[in-house]
Structure 1
Amino acid sequence: MLSLIIPVRSALHAVYPDLRPLRTAAKARDWAAVSRYFDALPPGFDATTAVTMVSQIRGIGRWLQLMVDTHREDPLPRLLLGAHLIIVGWKVRSSYRAQYVGREQFALFHEYLYRADRLLSDVTAVQPGSTAAWTFRLDTARGLGFGLPEARRRYAKAAESCAAPFAAQRKLVQQLCPKWGGDFKAVREFTRECLTQTPDGGICGAVVGEGYLEARFDYDHGHVNAAEIREDLDVASARILHADFQPQHGWVAAHSLLAASFVVQLDKDAARPHFAALGNTFSSYPWQMFDFSDAAAFRKARYAALGR
Structure 2
Amino acid sequence: MGDSTDDGPRPLVTDPFDAVPALVPLRDAAWDGDWAAVRAFFEGIATDEAAGAENLSLAAALLAGVERTEWFLEKAVQDRPADPLPRTLLAERYIHLGWRARGRGPAESVSWDAAQQCHERLCKAELLLIEVCAEQPACVPAWTARLGTARGLGLGQSEARRRYDRLAEHHPHHIRAQSLLLRHLCPEGDGSWEAAHGFAEECASAAPDASHAGVLVAEAHLAHWTALEGAEADEYLRSTTVRDELLRAARVSVLHPDHRRDWHWTDSHSTFALAFSLGGHVVDAAPHFAALGDTVSESVWRNVPDWRTRFTEYRATAAQATH
2:215 maps to which residue?
206
Q: Does 1:31 align with 2:31?
A: no
- Is the 1:64–1:80 Cα contact (8 Å) retained in structure 2? yes
Give the match for residue 45 of structure 1: 53
Q: Distance in 1 between matches of 2:121 and 2:21?
A: 30
Unpaired runs of at least 5, structure 2: none
Asked whether the equivalents of residues 110 and 144 of structure 1 are also in contact (C-alpha less than 8 Å), the reply is yes
Contact 1:61–1:84 (Cα < 8 Å) also in 2: yes
Matched, 1:167 2:160: no
Corresponding residue number in structure 2 for 1:266: 280
Work out the CA distance in 2 between the residues paired with 1:193 and 1:242: 18
- Structure 1 gaps of 5+ residues are none
Secondary structure, counterpart of 2:37 in structure 1: helix
Task: Please tell me whether residue 19 in structure 1 is matched to residue 23 in structure 2.
Answer: yes
Aligned pairs for 1:101-250 within 5 A: 101-162=110-171, 164-219=173-228, 226-239=239-252, 240-250=254-264
Per the normalisation by structure 1, the TM-score is 0.93
Query: Shift of residue 45 of structure 1?
Result: 2.5
Q: What is the CA distance between 1:124 and its match in structure 2?
A: 1.6
Higher mean alpha-carbon deviation, 116-125 vs 216-225, is at: 216-225
Q: Which residue, out of 80, 86, 92, partners 1:77?
A: 86
TM superposition shift of 1:208: 0.5
Provide Cα deviations, 1:213-265, integer angstroms capped at 9, x if missing partner: 11112127979693433222111111221220112222211111111111122
Question: Retained in 2: the 8 A contact 1:204–1:254?
Answer: no
- Cα distance, 1:182 vs structure 2: 1.5
Q: CA deviation at 1:289?
A: 2.1
1:252 to 255, 258, 266: 266
TM-score, normalised to structure 2's length? 0.89
Supply the distance in 2 between the matched residues of 1:14 and 1:237 (Cα, whole angstroms): 24
RMSD, aligned α-carbons = 2.2
Q: % of aligned pairs identical?
A: 34
Quick check: 1:97 aligned with 2:110? no
Equivalent residue for 2:71, pick from 62, 70, 87: 62
- Counterpart position of 1:9: 13
Offset at 1:152?
A: 1.1
How has the CA–CA distance of structure 1 residues 164 and 14 changed in structure 2, closer, same or farther, with 3 Å as cutoff? Answer: farther
How far 1:78 sits from its partner (Å)? 0.6
Structure 1 Cα separation of the partners of residues 286 and 37 of structure 2: 40
User: Does the CA contact (< 8 Å) of 1:288 and 1:297 recur in 2?
Assistant: no
Q: CA deviation at 1:71?
A: 0.9
Question: Do the aligned partners of residues 156 and 300 (structure 1) sit closer, same or farther apart at CA in structure 2, a change above 3 Å counting?
Answer: farther
Write the letter of the residue equivalent to 2:103: S
How many residues are treated as equivalent by the alignment?
Answer: 307
